[in-house]
Structure 1
């Protein structure tokens, strides 16, 4: 539950999710040199709709990945890098 999440847990979850997205900036110059390429960021179904079985921090951080990826794709669309998708994996247990 949200009131039980410490600041350290919040920071750890947010950092582990968002750090990968921040590294996209290093790929952009290399993609320009190569004449194209793709970046794939990993999100979650929780980024679309909150899930009750994971923390609200996780849900929020995955939503941030989705929006970051979408805005990056829009900003660089004119450079025709190809796709900058965000994938949302879903695990269904039997």
Structure 2
């Protein structure tokens, strides 16, 4: 599953775009420098996310929308089309992402 696919699944599970979840995380005091465990616990308690989906959100909350280019364009199972993640909702994502 690609990183973007994890974020799309988070949106399906929560009904919130990744950007909306980032905003809610900031309201909770989470952001760059925050530790993963409290964020994962909050996402599980408030939004019902499991560890894998929560860890994808931890990355976005603490590091933003850039990911490593390791899998970009690799064609593998974990391949992403871009090193930038789309946070504004799967239905609004341009076709080339």
TM over 0.5: no
- Which structure shows the bigger proportion of residues in strand conformation? 1
- TM-score norm. by structure 2 comes to 0.28
More helix by share: 1
Q: Give TM-score, length-normalised by structure 1.
A: 0.28
